[in-house]
Amino acid sequence: MSSIESASSAVVSREAAVHPQWSSRLAFILAATGSAVGLGNIWKFPYITGENGGGAFVLVYLLCILVVGLPILAAEILLGRRSGCSPIKGMTLLARRDAVSLRWGWMAWVGFVAAFVLLSFYSVVGGWSLAYIGLAAQGFFSGADAATIGGLFGQLLEDPGALLLWHSVFMLLVVLITGSGVRAGMERSIKLLMPLLFVLLLVLVGYAAVRGNFAQALSFLFSPDFSKLSTEGVLTALGHAFFTLSTGICVMMAYGSYLPPQVNIARTVVTIGLLDTLVALLAGLAIFPLVFANGLEPGAGPGLIFVTLPLAFGQMTGGVLFGTLFFILLLVAAVTSAISMIEPVVEWLEDKGVSRMLGALMSGAMIWLLGVCTVLSFNVWADFHPLDFMARFEGKTLFDLFDFLVSNLALPIGGLAIALYAGWAMKPQTLRDGIGLGDGAVFTLFHFVLRFLSPAAVLVVFVYNLG
């Protein structure tokens, strides 16, 4: 073997050992869907929909997914596939190849920091699902009323020790999975677990249809009343479109870097978007009928699913089994998203010569530490509102602020940069060859959306919000 051959085979085998080598389009769809479908769909979508008055918010959210989220997701995956390496290195590489300013590289840094902060609080919420697996399995929900179940959630939040324990266990899981680069295992388990989550959600929707106030939930979710939607609500919908598709902070860029060239990106992105939206809407249909039937508050905030679904499990036959299974699947959905958040960080450390396990441990430890702020913001620091001097941030805890920083600022700004790069910095021919929409009217429309519509949407919402 020549030295060049052996060097390149060493690179290939290093990459094979270290990085996901998507074996097929299906494998990529599963991994990307695993990243997209997470706490964002089942935990966050219902509660922000409740806080923002329902139908009008859902409509704006769906529009944001279609017009802003999906085109940018496609562009992000393409950038990753073209670069073939970690986002931070990759964006500079692409800028050089496309002969544009190397300053484009900063967008990968925004993503890098955002993913870090995001995982720090995502892990705490992931920890709640761990805690709830235990509560469900021990039959704590059986026959309990809304007040008792609400009390359980309150107790969890007030206990920094318990939150810290579950946050630590969750981070440990993420570090171990990422560190050992378990791809085949992940692929196989996602293939099994995602459909299971789907089926279980359908069971819950069925239960809610029979036992809950389904009609009121349908009208809450699908009949828009724009008087209930604030401009901040629009920004939240936009931010959530990015959040739920995992796009805007280079996570999908990292995943895209292992996508085989023959895979059609456009078609893949549509599949991911459909699955993701379906899971969110199903979660809404499982939760809101119970909210209305039990006189609960749709705008109750982050605790919404942890208060409503246990009520259902407490009353249904087989509720202990279904409840335990549901929270296990919620955990799986959260973990498959969390490993995608840490991936760009670990990949970047690897580029710097740090081993994968050490990189995962180092970044995991720092993320864990930041997560302690979120843990404390629910109890010891509940009254610590560092930005109270600004009217719009009044009363917001550290957890609220982290979420705002990531969901409402970093994701849209990162998404804007991706749209601008793909729409303006890249040659249209390169975009056309990569995206898989042919070269007819559909591509022209896509290019227009990416160049004008998506950036304009993000900017308008920002300017409104700042004003």
Which residues here bind ligand PHE, judged by CB under 6 A?
35-36, 38-41, 118, 243-244, 246, 249, 251, 337, 340-341
Q: How far is the CB of 223 from ligand PHE (least distance, A)?
A: 25
Min separation Cβ 72 and ligand PHE, Å: 12
Angstrom distances, CA of residue 2 to CA of 6, 11, 12, 350: 6, 14, 15, 26
Nearest-approach distance from CB 96 to ligand PHE, in angstroms: 26
Give the 3-state secondary structure of residue 57. helix
Contacts of 402 (CB under 8 A, 6+ apart): 117, 118, 120, 121, 373, 374
Distance of CA 229 to the CA centre of its chain: 23
Is 244 or 377 the residue whose CB approaches ligand PHE more closely?
Answer: 244
CB of 262 to ligand PHE, least distance (A): 25
CB of 337 to ligand PHE, least distance (A): 4
Looking at the Cβ atoms of 41 and 397, the one nearer to ligand PHE is 41
CA distances from 154 to 120, 128, 365 (A): 21, 12, 27
CA distance 261 to 78: 10
Considering beta carbons, is residue 118 or 156 the nearer one to ligand PHE?
118
Comparing CB distances to ligand PHE, the nearer of 144 and 341 is: 341
Task: Return the number of the residue (195 or 318) whose C-beta is nearest ligand PHE.
Answer: 195
Instruction: Provide the minimum distance between the beta carbon of 2 and ligand PHE in the complex, in angstroms, as a whole number.
Output: 41
Backbone angles phi, psi at 274, to 5 degrees: -65, -50
Number of residue whose CB is nearest ligand PHE: 40
68 vs 316, beta carbon nearer ligand PHE: 68
Minimum CB distance to ligand PHE smaller for 65 or for 296: 65
| Tally: H helices and E strands in the chain | 23, 0
For residue 392, give every residue at least 6 positions away whose Cβ sits within 8 Å of its Cβ, in sequence order, or none. 232
